Amino acid sequence: MLLPSSVFRLAENYGFSGADKQVPDLKVLFSREQIARRVAQLGEKITRDFAGEQVVLIGVLKGAAIFLSDLARSIQLDATFDFISVSSYGNEKQNSGEVKLLKDVDQSMEGKNIILVEDILDTGLTLSYLRRVLLAKRPKTLHIAALLDKVPRRTEAIQADYVGFKIPDEFVVGYGMDYAEKYRNLPDICVVS
Ligand code: IMP
Ligand code: MG
């Protein structure tokens, strides 16, 4: 089923209870089909760029978990993955500006081709911090794959090497991304209004 990107869907359509007074209106920004096509393209590009090499995907918990699981399966290389976790917005829509490491990777990254996999590149604070943390582990290469890039929000000098979609300054949920820990399981990426 292909949803036109202008379709409005109430959270109830995704199984969220109408009894919850906080249920917002959701508008589909990228349908599951659009996401699948774009993630497959990113996987093909990574496969070409790293031909003959091993890669380690490092997903930033929790938002990038679903993106990583689809991306990993579209990469035809000797690849593995790991996860890292940082403190985030809490239950706010605004970033507090402070980043702390909550969970480090489990494996040695020395000499590895790392691809840091993130849901959204927003101000860039999180990925700038994680880039420093990971470069200190002396990888062979470090690249960044971000499903979404909120270009107008950037305050840090950082770019992703692989970007799914550029989006305006809107708050999105679904496909791993949350608002106060909700809506991560929506198969489409939706704007909260
Ligand atoms: P940054 O440090 O400002 O680049 O923020 C990046 C993190 O903020 C992302 O990994 C997301 O977890 C979160 N974030 C930014 N924008 C959104 C959004 O629209 N929806 C959900 N999470 C977001
Ligand atoms: Mg995140």
pTM over 0.85: yes
| Centroid of ligand 2 to alpha carbon of 60 (angstroms) | 6
Question: What number is the average pLDDT over the span 137-148?
Answer: 98
Q: Whose CA is nearest to atom 5 of ligand 1?
A: 122
The burial of 13, by beta-carbon neighbours within 10 Å (0-12 exposed, 13-18 middle, 19 or more buried), is given as: exposed
Q: Are 132 and 160 in contact (CB under 8 A)?
A: no
- pLDDT per position as a tens digit, 56-87: 999 999 999 999 999 999 999 999 999 999 98
Closest approach atom of ligand 1 to CA 171: 19
